[in-house]
Structure 1
Amino acid sequence: MNICNFAKVIISRSTKDSTSINYFNNPHSRSEQNTLTPVYNSSVSLKQRHENYSLFMHKYPFMQINNFKLYCQKTARIQEYVTNAKYYEHRNQGGERETFINHFNLIQWLKISETERKQHKLGNCMPCNTTHIDISKIHKSVSETSIQILNLSEQIVENVSSILPTSTATKGKKTAQALINVLNPLFENQFRKSFEKSAAEALHLSPIEKSADKVKNELTLLKKNKIQIIEATSVNDRDVENFLA
C-alpha cells in the first residue's frame, strides 16, 4: 500500500489519540509538552476520526480524503498495515513498529516544516520515499525503487568518501564537493541546469554570493542609506552633510 506514511499513522493512530489531538488543538503550549504518551480511545467513531483527519489536513489538499466511505475503506486496510507485525522488518522483533509510528505520527507531522508538509501526498509520496526513507524502509510497503535509490546513494557516498585522502573532520564537506563536481555536468546535460543549483532550489536555499558581489552590494546599500540620511536632514545644514561625506 503505497500511501504516505504520515497518512498511514495519522489515520490509524492519531485520529483516536487524545494526546495527539490535544497537541494539535493547543499550538501555543506545544513547546511545554515534553512527555507525550499516546492515549488511544477505541470508542471514537469512524465518523469522528474522519472529521479529525480532515481537520488535521485542511491546509493540505494532496493529503485529504473528503469522501467518508472511501476513508472507511482505507482505514480498515491501513489499520492492518500499521498494526500487523508481519509488515515490518524482522516481523517487528526489534520494535520497528513503534519506531515507525513514533516517526510518522501527528505530533511529528506538526514538527516538520510547512514547506515539507505541502510536499506530502497520499499516493507516491516523494518525501516519504526520499527524506524519510531511513524509517520508511522498515515497513514493507516501501517501494522497490525507493530501496534501490537508497542503496545506490549509500554506495556512491561510500565509494567517493573512500578515495578521498582527507581527515575525518573535513571528509563530509570534501565528499559533498566531489559529488557536486561529478553530478554538475551530468545534470547540465540531462536537465540543462547544474546539480548544485537544482539542489539549492529543492532545499529552498538562497544563492551564495561571490565575495566581490557581496562587497559591491554592501557598498551600494551603504551609499543608499547615506543618501536617505542626507535627504532626511535639512539641505541647508552643511555641517551634517560634510560629516556624512
Structure 2
Amino acid sequence: MNLCNYAKVILARSTKEPETLKWWNDQPNKENKILVHVPNHSQNINVRARYENYHAFMHSYPKMHIPLQEFKSRIPRLQNYLSNAKYWKNNNKTGEKSIFLEKHNLLNWCKLSEAEKKRHKKENCEKCTSEIFYASLHKYTTPSTIEVSNLCEELTKKVCENSKAKNVTKATKILHTLEPFIEHKLDMNIKETACKLYDLTKKLTSDEKQKRIHTIVSKSTERIAKILNKENEEINFLASNKSYNEYERERLHTFFESKSKAKKNLAKRFKDESERKLKKRSSVGNLSKYTFNKEEFLNELKDHPKTVPINWNEWSRKYRVKNVQGIQPANGGQVLIEFAKSQGIDVFNYNTEKRMSGRDYFRRVRRSRHLITKRLRVPVPKSAKKKLKQKYKTEN
C-alpha cells in the first residue's frame, strides 16, 4: 500500500481515537474544530465522521486530501494492515508496530514545520520513503527500501561488534565510516548538510571564535558608551549643581576599581612576570624594527648630566626614530628608553623628579575600569577636566 505513512496512521487511528480528537479540539487557534461532543468509544464514530475529521486535520494540505469513496474502501484494509502482527517486520516481536504508530500519529504530524508537511503527499510520498528505518518496519514497502534497510542494519551491527567503546562513540564511528563514501559519491560536505538539516551551528575554528567574540564585545561596548554619553549630557551635568571635582570623584568611584585593589593587581602582575607566568608587557615591541642614529644617541646619553632633565619625546624627534612603515611613532620616547635599557644604561638615574614614590613611572599604579565579562570593561563617561570643562571654556 503506497499511502503516506502519516496518512495511514491518521486515517486508521487518529480519526476515531477519542483522546486524540479531544486533544485536537483543545488546541488554541484551531479554526477547523471537529465533533463538538467527542464520544467516549471509537466504535461510536461512523465512517462519514471520520472522513470529516481527517479533512479537518489536512485542511491546509491539498496533496493529502482523499475522496470519500476511496476513504471508505481503504479504511478496512488499512486497519487490518496496521493491527495484524503478520504484516509487521519480525511479526511485531520487537515492538515495530508501536514504534511506527507513535512516529506517525497526529501529534507528531502537528509538530512538523509547514515546509515539511507540504513535502508529504497522499500517494508515492518520497519524504516517507526516504525515512528508511520507519518505512521498513512494515512488510508492505518497496524492495529497494528493504534492501537499504538490511544494508544499514548490517553496517551498524559490524561496527558495533568491532568497537568496544560506549554507545556514543559507536554512533560516531558509524558516521565517520559513512562520511567519506557519501562525500565522494555525492560530491558534498556531509557536515554542512547535517547543520542545515538539523539547524545546527557549525563548529568554529579558534580564529573564528576570537573574531566573533571581538565583534560582540565591540558592539556591546559601543551600545553602553552611547547610553553613558547620551546627547545633552553636558547640560545635565551643569544643571546638577555638582562641582568638577565632585563629578570626577563620583566618576572614579563608579567606573574604576579602588586604589587598594589596583595595588594588589599590580603586585600580583609583578610576581607573575618575575616567575614567568606572564609575559612582561612591552609598549614598543621588537626594538630591531626601529631605525634611528643609535650610536649618536648612546654617546649623548652617556655624556648627559644626570641632574639635567631629559625630554625623551623631543630626543626621539631629534634622532628621527621611525618604525617599519617609516613613520615616527607616538611613543618614540619609550623606544629610546627601552633601547638604552637594553644597552645596560640605568635610565632611572635621569628625571628622578618624575618618579612616583620610588616606583618606575611607566609602571605606576593605575586604576582599571570595572570588568563586566572577559574582554569587556565598562565604558567611562566623559571626564570633567578633559571634556566638559575644556568644551565650555572654549565656547565661552
Same fold per superposition (TM over 0.5): yes
Quick check: which has more Rg, 1 or 2? 2
Q: Give CA-to-partner distance per residue, 1:210-235, whole Å, 9 cap, x none.
A: 23112201211211121222223236
TM-aligned CA deviation for residue 144 of structure 1: 1.4
The letter of the residue matching 1:234 is K
Q: Give CA-to-partner distance per residue, 1:129-162, whole Å, 9 cap, x none.
A: 344x444433222221111111222333444555
Q: Take 2:208 and 2:102, find their aligned partners in 1: how far apart are those partners?
A: 46
Q: How many residues align?
A: 228
1:39-78 matches, cutoff 5 A: 40-65=41-66, 67-78=67-78
The letter of the residue matching 1:104 is H
- Secondary structure of the 2:137 match is coil
TM-aligned CA deviation for residue 187 of structure 1: 2.4
Percent identity of paired positions between Structure 1 and Structure 2: 29
TM-aligned CA deviation for residue 205 of structure 1: 2.6
- Secondary structure of the 1:13 match is helix
Q: Take 1:175 and 1:99, find their aligned partners in 2: how far apart are those partners?
A: 23
1:105-144 matches, cutoff 5 A: 105-110=105-110, 112-114=111-113, 116-131=116-131, 133-144=132-143
Q: Take 2:159 and 2:85, find their aligned partners in 1: how far apart are those partners?
A: 37
- Secondary structure of the 2:380 match is helix
TM-aligned CA deviation for residue 127 of structure 1: 4.7
The letter of the residue matching 1:243 is V
| Preserved contact between residue 10 and residue 106 of structure 1 (Cα < 8 Å) | yes
Q: Take 2:159 and 2:96, find their aligned partners in 1: how far apart are those partners?
A: 31
| Aligned pair partner of 1:215 in 210, 216, 221 | 210
| Preserved contact between residue 100 and residue 138 of structure 1 (Cα < 8 Å) | yes
Structure with more relative contact order (C-alpha pairs < 8 Å, separation 6 or more): 1
Q: Take 2:154 and 2:129, find their aligned partners in 1: how far apart are those partners?
A: 17
TM-aligned CA deviation for residue 179 of structure 1: 2.7
| Preserved contact between residue 15 and residue 53 of structure 1 (Cα < 8 Å) | yes
Q: Take 2:157 and 2:85, find their aligned partners in 1: how far apart are those partners?
A: 32
| Preserved contact between residue 128 and residue 135 of structure 2 (Cα < 8 Å) | yes
1:1-245 matches, cutoff 5 A: 1-27=1-27, 40-65=41-66, 67-89=67-89, 97=97, 100-110=100-110, 112-114=111-113, 116-131=116-131, 133-160=132-159, 167-168=165-166, 170-188=169-187, 193-232=188-227, 233-234=229-230, 243=380
| Preserved contact between residue 13 and residue 40 of structure 1 (Cα < 8 Å) | no
Structure 2, unpaired ranges of 5+: 29-39, 235-250, 256-377, 383-396
- Secondary structure of the 1:121 match is coil
TM-score, normalised to structure 1, is: 0.73
Structure 1, unpaired ranges of 5+: 29-38
The structure that is helix-richer by fraction is 1
- Secondary structure of the 1:155 match is helix
TM-score, normalised to structure 2, is: 0.48
| Preserved contact between residue 200 and residue 206 of structure 1 (Cα < 8 Å) | yes
| Preserved contact between residue 50 and residue 71 of structure 1 (Cα < 8 Å) | yes
| Preserved contact between residue 185 and residue 194 of structure 1 (Cα < 8 Å) | no
Moved more, 166-175 or 220-229: 166-175
Q: Take 1:16 and 1:242, find their aligned partners in 2: how far apart are those partners?
A: 64
TM-aligned CA deviation for residue 49 of structure 1: 1.1
| Preserved contact between residue 7 and residue 122 of structure 1 (Cα < 8 Å) | yes
Q: Take 1:97 and 1:160, find their aligned partners in 2: how far apart are those partners?
A: 27
The letter of the residue matching 1:58 is H
Q: Take 2:47 and 2:379, find their aligned partners in 1: how far apart are those partners?
A: 76
The letter of the residue matching 1:226 is T
Match of 1:34 in 2: none
Q: Give CA-to-partner distance per residue, 1:184-227, whole Å, 9 cap, x none.
A: 23321xxxx22222233233333332231122012112111212
TM-aligned CA deviation for residue 89 of structure 1: 3.7
Q: Take 1:136 and 1:172, find their aligned partners in 2: how far apart are those partners?
A: 21
CA gap of 1:50–1:185, structure 2 versus 1, over 3 A, is same
